[in-house]
Chain A
């Protein structure tokens, strides 16, 4: 921990020769600002205690010790207001020396297990994970990664969990099995369970003796979780709920012993009327009345068990309710929001592996008397894949760092951003890797097609990317709406507020001409060699805020219905967050002199330049409105096609006369 402090103070002193920057960085980490430094200081204080303890005891002490966390405003939400929390540019260093050493040891063991004992090809072919492989995973403790030590789990924090996810994702089926078990299946007990529930269920779940599953999706309710139909009726003695309904596409549905089930419950409100709401229950298979359908035959992640689960008058004791009656929707959202961030590091994990294979091929495959590595188009692909991996990796660990260091972190938007970015990067990057291998990549001998199939699910599950994009932009707009209430009202009634309108027009003239005035001075918060990229980031933040204001002023409250514009806002926000993460990480690496840090700086520049290009394009589209940016055309085309129930253009060979 003191190591962090040293690294940090050296980080500060490193900036000293550059005069200007020094005071800014000091300002940025000053205790008044709830800086990282404060966390680090807290960490350093706790190290004194830890030094007296040995080995496991120390680890447990560190875990159980409540390290005072810092409180900070939500980063991503504030981006929509054009407020940039500069402290985030100090990339978090969460783990202390012992934790990092422990983690590396763990990673090594798990990696060896995956390389030696896991036959992904066989799992994919036979569509089942062999029992001994699962047992091996259980023995490694991978079924209880985030369960606290006192319940027999590994007690990993978000950062450590993300690191292990890099390895477990090497096999898609295992990754999904594990994720369904602990990222969503038992997360409910972890987040909202009471002490008795935790003590009863967690120990067996941690060892993998019991496997958990998360039952939300129903035939009529996918992304729209509020519309579930499964019913839980309270018995007359008010001691038991009876569950009735069907859940589909339940990961681990066939092998799970513990289910987190969401169902409608009826209760009386204060006026003694019956109201329906959603509640969450812990259901054991042995309660009876549970039947699983046959495993689904899927495109990817074939080894994972996905099937439907029927509940037929399953009795659930009232003490098995998670939270209170009617808390179900909140519990479900909390579970889903907290599980998403690790998808970034998972994607980075298998992409790094695949990139290695691809690079090896590009070096050795000779065409036109030159190895592929010398062809510019291949070089471009490799470089772009690298930038993408770097971006999602940085985003994932930044988000994990926020989750670990903040007090009651509000990171659901960041996590959603990581999920959207990483799932799309994964699909695109694997596809590009496959393309570099050409025909070979298409063959089943190589892992590319399997990874491609496996990764496709990432864009679908845990909230489809479309829903998450809406979530990002709507939550952002909602957050901005509170602050911008008066501004938007005036903007929407220009003739009632002529003075304000003229003032705003003058203010906006720079934005209109795409010449944003930079006043946040972000360049002072990164290493001087990244100053220009920091200015690009600042430009992007200002543009995002401009976009939000435009959209809100144009649509007012009905902004909710303008999804194409919301999607653009979400894309801009994701790019801004990615730029932030990339810059912060590259700046840190360069300051503390990590290996190939100059390479990282180059990655940061490349990524930021591309991201800024996308942002410029997106905001320009927002500015121009639906008639210029094709949105109206898309809508009209789609409605014609729906009217014709399919492709509506006449075949090109058709002739109207002869």
Chain B
């Protein structure tokens, strides 16, 4: 898991020697003259996952020394004093969190405080922190920087700071450092960026020359870089209201800059069955394309398709016309004897000239409008068409064909449940929201539960 050496593979190993030998060898090699940072590059430390340390010193190509269980002695002794193995104490610590009835930030912090209060000497704090890490997601505090700080504050200050080069190189208090690294690692995997206060805490706990601090340094190098790197930024946190989500989704998938997002309510229509909201997107250009659409050819309503907004899925529908056939035109670009001035030509409609197809006219069809509705039902789509007729009168004449492959009802657009945790959804949602092909094969009753992943998570 942890592998600090990045320069190259170990050259060779020799059976274990005592630390005295190591020190002697180093002296012999003149390491005393080498200042700590330089020594770092000479000595590579490898640490495997289960806290069984194998420290390999690679001093010079000819001398390679391996030491076992040198630095570990400290914490092994401590552990024995405390009585009980790591596993056992971990289960004990977990009870603190399991006892809490409601799961939220407040109770989580109460649990942390109860530990701090009860054990002034902070015995078994590593186990406690590990169990806390395990429960963070359940308490919904896994993205909360303040809670991570609180967690890091549990480490006693001062004791773990390395005082000399050897302590630095041999990972002073490895178990504690590894625990600190794991806290930071969990922060990283949930995208929680540390701040300077975390830095102060780490310096006061482990010192600047610690692996934990190096981990922090790496995080502070990369995480700000990734913070704003997405080309599709979304508000954080995402709005809970499905209507707002639908607007965001449509805004994201509308490539035309002129796109107007409009919002309707089906209640305004007398003969609508589903009284729900409808959000539609259409640009003036699309309106124009619809205007030009021949009356005798149908436009198709297709869907539902899915667009993801972080862990939220929004299904949307499109209005599509068959692709326009543009005549393949041979043009000799090398001939400059007759450059046509489109802008100043009195007959721009001349047959020789052809306007570049707009962004809506794709090979597989022309997209004329898009929408998302509260129920995603066929009736709500019908209402959408009604509303569209206000701005596109030609729709009254053009036949509209519904080619929905999915059942009309019960298709949940957006999982909206107050209690759902977005992470749970990210894991479950991907699997459970079926593709439209699959949807067409299952009956609506059966898969209604499977399509709302949030529900069964909440039930669990």
Contacts and interface: CB of A to CB of B under 8 A. Distances in A.
Interface of A: 2-3, 5-7, 9-10, 13-14, 16, 363-364, 366, 368-369, 371, 373, 592-597
A369 B233 CA distance: 31
Contacts of B20: none
Q: Is the interface of B mostly helix, strand, loop or mixed?
A: helix
A593 to B, nearest CB: 4
A593 B221 CA distance: 9
Contacts of B226: 593
Interface of B: 195-197, 199-200, 217-218, 220-221, 224-229, 233, 257-258, 284, 342-343, 355
A368 B199 contact: no
Contacts of B355: 369
A466 B235 CA distance: 48
B430 to A, nearest CB: 27
B342 A368 contact: yes
Contact of A6 (B220, B233, B258): B220
Contacts of A10: 217, 220-221, 224
Contact of B227 (A7, A368, A369, A593): A593
Which A-B residue pairs are the 7 nearest by beta carbons? A2-B196, A595-B228, A593-B224, A593-B225, A6-B196, A10-B220, A3-B196
Contacts of B199: 2, 5-6
A366 B228 CA distance: 33
A204 to B, nearest CB: 41
Nearest to A10: B220
Contact of A593 (B217, B228, B257, B343): B228
B445 to A, nearest CB: 46
Nearest to B214: A13
Contacts of A16: 221
A16 B225 CA distance: 15
B257 A373 contact: yes
B328 to A, nearest CB: 21
Given A5-B199, A9-B220, A368-B342, 9 more contacts: A6-B196, A7-B224, A10-B220, A13-B218, A14-B221, A16-B221, A373-B257, A592-B224, A593-B227
- The secondary structure that dominates the A interface is helix
A597 B199 CA distance: 25
Nearest to B218: A13
Contact of A5 (B196, B217, B221): B196
Contacts of A371: 257-258
A14 B197 CA distance: 20
Nearest to B342: A368
7 contacts: A5-B199, A6-B220, A10-B220, A10-B221, A13-B220, A14-B221, A594-B228
B220 A363 contact: no
Contacts of A7: 224
Contact of A363 (B218, B221, B224, B258): B258
B273 to A, nearest CB: 37
A191 B318 CA distance: 66
B146 to A, nearest CB: 15
A1 B218 CA distance: 20
A6 B229 CA distance: 20
A14 to B, nearest CB: 5
B196 A13 contact: no
A42 to B, nearest CB: 15
B346 to A, nearest CB: 13
Nearest to A594: B228
A56 B355 CA distance: 64
A364 B260 CA distance: 11
A433 B109 CA distance: 55
Contacts of A5: 196, 199
A7 B221 CA distance: 9
A373 B256 CA distance: 11
A369 B342 CA distance: 11
A316 to B, nearest CB: 53
A13 B258 contact: no
Contacts of B196: 2-3, 5-6
B195 A6 contact: yes
Contacts of B227: 593
Nearest to A47: B196
Contacts of B233: 595
A426 B221 CA distance: 37
A165 B78 CA distance: 61
Contacts of A597: 228
